[in-house]
Amino acid sequence: MSFKPARRPHFFYTTAPLPCPYLAGRTERKVVTELVGVSAESLHDRLSRGGFRRSHNIAYAPVCPACTACVPIRIRARDFQPSRTQKRVAKANQDLLVQEMPPRATAEQFQLFQRYQRDRHGDGDMATMSFYDYRAMIEDTPIETSVVEFRLPDGTLVGGCLTDRLGDGLSAVYSFFSTEMDQRSLGTYAVLWLIDHATELDLPHVYLGYWVEESRKMAYKAKFKPSEILRGGQWLPLVEHQEAVKQEAKKEAAF
């Protein structure tokens, strides 16, 4: 007689309400669950396809009261068609040295991360992170993760992107870069590199987290085409959603 150990029950929890970091005057709540044990990788894959994101060993998704502004978005890497601006960004950064590193925090990365937080998100919670907080963000991962480093030809670190490997794509967990090189558009280039890398690995998607159309910080994600958003449990082309919104606006204007 074979013995099958009992499956460990999986629990989901809801966080307390907090002010929304993207839209003023709104409240944020999340549903969260742990990614632990031998099933962490497969669970993370399933949850990512269902619109969850990872932070440390936690997967989370928004369940905000009376708000659905945070929309999961992913790029169809194999079909990606860069815009003229994105082509210019790729050309401007073709001299960079890019390398995937193990998820190990370094003082060099942290110094760049601190400068990025100070310049771009000085009023956010991450601006006060210590090196130990940063190390936990990078190293507390139960799945296949890397830090993609972007360096100038002289070796200077100018960008980093914490990236998860999924069964059907790459997930950009968090990126940071030198804000003194705005002409390079390093944030855009990091996404372009992930798209190319996903194609090389024969992975169909690059997950960008949540698209918040009303937030200037998050609206850029819709510029990578073609992309898909998760609505009603289905991944749908973003262009279809945008066209539906336009048609609805025309109907309202007609009344």
Mean pLDDT throughout 33-51?
94
Confidence (pLDDT) at 8: 61
Confidence (pLDDT) at 21: 85
Q: Indicate whether 82 pLDDT > 90.
A: yes
Burial label, 4 (beta-carbon count in 10 A; 0-12, 13-18, 19+) = exposed
Confidence (pLDDT) at 110: 98
pLDDT one-digit tens code per residue, 101-118: 999 999 999 999 999 999
Q: Indicate whether 215 pLDDT > 80.
A: yes
Instruction: pLDDT band for 171, please (50, 70, 90 cuts).
Output: very high
Q: What pTM value is reported for the model?
A: 0.91
97-113 burial string, b = 16+ CB within 10 Å, else e? ebeeeebebbeebbebb
Instruction: pLDDT band for 222, please (50, 70, 90 cuts).
Output: very high
Cβ-Cβ contacts under 8 Å for 78 (sequence gap 6 or more)? 199, 204
Confidence (pLDDT) at 244: 65
Q: Indicate whether 255 pLDDT > 70.
A: no
Q: How far apart are CA 31 and CA 222, in angstroms?
A: 25
Instruction: pLDDT band for 187, please (50, 70, 90 cuts).
Output: very high
Confidence (pLDDT) at 9: 65
Confidence (pLDDT) at 10: 78
Confidence (pLDDT) at 127: 82
